[in-house]
Each structure stands twice: as structure tokens, then as C-alpha cells.
Amino acid sequence: ERIDGYEEPCAILTKEAARQLRSVASEMIVRGYRLKIFDAYRPARAVRSFVLWGIEDQDIRMKQYFYPDLEKQELFARGYIASKSSHSRGSTVDLTLLDMSTGKEVDMGSPFDLFSPLSHPDCRNVTDEQYENRMFLQKAMMRHGFEPISCEWWRTS
């Protein structure tokens, strides 16, 4: 269902983050990839919606997709949901790579928003190719001023 605060299908970033992301995108195009953005600026009311969803223990409709091996209440302690999100600053972006030759997402070894140790960027419980894909994306983002977080391969600030 639609999250409060996400009214339009667009990604909003600060000017600085947008410039940095444009540099990443330019580098990736030369290498045969495009960026696919999942999430960027997140209004505070959207963060509140996520927090309330995390507290609500009856709504487990998406458990099998997003947190199959955890209880919902663990999502806070493990850093997957926070009461204050760096997304609300407008400088955080969740993204992946698209292979321009196939038009498909590059295999990162876990789906976007899977709250699991399998999604940690440094997880070695994926194939060598999947790990290299994660590192390729992470290093490109870091070269252009973004910083990764430890529990999600798709997120940089």
C-alpha cells in the first residue's frame, strides 16, 4: 500500500547529492550500466509510517519478502528501520545497477530491501560474481562522495 509522504513516483535529492549521483551515472554508462533508483528523499511522515508498521506486530503480510528470518521487532535493533532516517536529509539513495545490454538488474545476491545478513555489502555467503557486483557499485558510489552503510548493499549517503 502507498506509504504516507510518497505522493509522486520521483526521487528527490539535495543538489549536492544529485550532482554526485550524476557523476556516478556518467561513469556507469561508460561501463555499460545505468542506475535504478529505489528510494531517495523520505519525508518524516513516511519514516513515521515505517516506524508504526515496525511496531505493529499484527501486520506480517510482507514478512516472507522483507524479513523472513527475523521477527518484526528485531528490525529496529539490527538497523533496518530507524526512527530517524538519513533519507530525510535528501542525501541518501537506495539503488542498484541495470545492465544496458540486457535491461535487467545486475545480480547482487539478494533482493532490494531484504532485511537479512545476506544483504550486508560484505556478506560472503553469495557467489563471487554477486559479491564483485556489490563491491563494484559500492566503490563507484564512494569514488563520488557517497558512504555505504553496513547492513544494505543498495544504500549510500
Element (H, E) at 104: strand 104-105
Which listed residue (8, 129, 147, 152) is catalytic?
A: 152
**Contact, 94 vs 39, CB < 8 A?**
yes
Residue 58, C-beta contacts closer than 8 angstroms, at least 6 positions apart: none
Residue 15, C-beta contacts closer than 8 angstroms, at least 6 positions apart: none
Q: Is 105 a catalytic residue?
A: no
Element (H, E) at 94: strand 93-99
**Contact, 35 vs 24, CB < 8 A?**
yes
The upper half-sphere exposure of residue 94, i.e. CA atoms within 13 Å in the direction of its Cβ, equals: 18
**Contact, 57 vs 114, CB < 8 A?**
no
State the catalytic residues: 152
